[in-house]
Amino acid sequence: MQISLTETAAELKAHERIVITAHVNPDGDAIGSSLGLMHALKALGKEVQVFIDDDIPAAFSVLPGYELIGKPEEGQNIPADLLVAVDVSLDRIGRVKEAVNAPTLNIDHHITNDGQADKLYLDGNAAATAEIIYQLIEELGVPCTQEMAMCLYTGLAMDTGWFRFSNTTPNTMRVAAALLACGAQPHVISEALEQRPFAEVQSLAFALLKIELLAGGKVAGICLDHASLQEHEAPEGLIGMVRVIEGVDIAFTLKEKEPGLCRVSLRSKGVDVTKIALKFGGGGHVRAAGCTIEKPCAEARIELVKAIMQVLEETA
């Protein structure tokens, strides 16, 4: 059931023990929104935990509360009165779904949200879920602190490509300005997130050598199998480097994180990549989407490329 922002705030106020989660393979918006909301609810005196079923990149340790993010264990039971999923549909929260037996509240900006939560607040016009969380904090009547601002600014900046992407709106910039006024430090955030261990930079060079061009240069992608990822770290931001290649409309990365389980990121300059992601149970935005393919790397690549080509033909 879809609800309003006011009703979302009321739902949060009505519960005391709250677990917040986001999608596997979390990005800056997922992490920043989760932590920003956590700080706001703690300010209301709520008992709040953040659990995400994946490893959280160390670069995000710049965010207040990073060290409080838990990863659910197999068979773990996490007590709560309410499960809040941000920046995601419930089908992409991994083990958290089984670990928390509680009513579900979903806060999202992805137009592909499946609406399976008990209650859903969806704003497809928001550039990032962090933009929604800032508005929700205002609705809750909680003063925005520097802790909240650091987390939410990170989510907002990263989901807009540091305010370069087409999803950046006047409201996005107004929220960013408000977060700066609350104490967000863009230079601290950007410097922390831009830093890379030497080994990861080497891994990036290795990965870039694997770029392949398809469809006459309209498609570019990188596939890294499990063996490659065991030898080299999975570099962050790889998809952005594929996307900028001249003439490329659709960019993809496929990483076999576990044997037979591949994580896919998709970006485009024109084509609606949600049409590709949805074929594999994923979702996202017109210009940025993702999915998981539960097949070995070589097989997953064949299916992904086939889906990309189909969508290209449909939009030609």
Model confidence band, residue 79 (pLDDT cutoffs 50, 70, 90): very high
Question: Once rounded to an integer, what is the mean pLDDT over residues 126-139?
Answer: 97
For the chain, give the percent of residues with pLDDT over 70: 100
Q: Give the range among 22-31, 32-41, 203-212, 231-240 with minimum mean pLDDT.
A: 231-240
Mean pLDDT (the chain, rounded): 94
Q: HSE, CB side, 13 Å, CA atoms: give it for residue 137.
A: 30
Find, among 138, 169, 165, the residue nearest to 152 by Cα: 138
Question: Once rounded to an integer, what is the mean pLDDT over residues 68-81?
Answer: 94
Residue 189's pLDDT is 97
Q: Return the ∠ at Cα 24 (arms to 71 and 41), rounded to 5°.
A: 60
Model confidence band, residue 315 (pLDDT cutoffs 50, 70, 90): confident
Find, among 250, 253, 248, the residue nearest to 217 by Cα: 248
What is the pTM assigned to this prediction? 0.85
What is the enclosing helix (H) or strand (E) of 289? Answer: strand 288-293
Question: Once rounded to an integer, what is the mean pLDDT over residues 202-220?
Answer: 93
**Taking 90 as the threshold, does the pLDDT of residue 25 lie above it?**
no
Q: Is the dihedral of CA 189, 193, 197, 202 positive or negative?
A: negative
**Taking 80 as the threshold, does the pLDDT of residue 316 lie above it?**
no
Paired with 21 in beta bridges are: 85
Higher-confidence residue of 233 and 214: namely: 214
Residue 231's pLDDT is 87
**Taking 90 as the threshold, does the pLDDT of residue 166 lie above it?**
no
Question: Once rounded to an integer, what is the mean pLDDT over residues 72-89?
Answer: 94
Paired with 214 in beta bridges are: 219
**Taking 80 as the threshold, does the pLDDT of residue 179 lie above it?**
yes
Residue 279's pLDDT is 94
**Taking 90 as the threshold, does the pLDDT of residue 44 lie above it?**
yes
Model confidence band, residue 146 (pLDDT cutoffs 50, 70, 90): very high
Question: Once rounded to an integer, what is the mean pLDDT over residues 39-58?
Answer: 96
SS3 72: coil
Q: Return the ∠ at Cα 109 (arms to 15 and 142), rounded to 5°.
A: 40
CB 290 within 8 A of CB 282: yes
Find, among 270, 269, 268, 275, the residue nearest to 304 by Cα: 275
pLDDT, one tens digit per residue, over 83-126 is 999 999 998 899 999 999 999 999 999 988 989 999 999 999 99
Contacts of 311 by beta carbon, 8 Å cutoff, 6+ apart: 250, 271, 272, 273, 275, 276
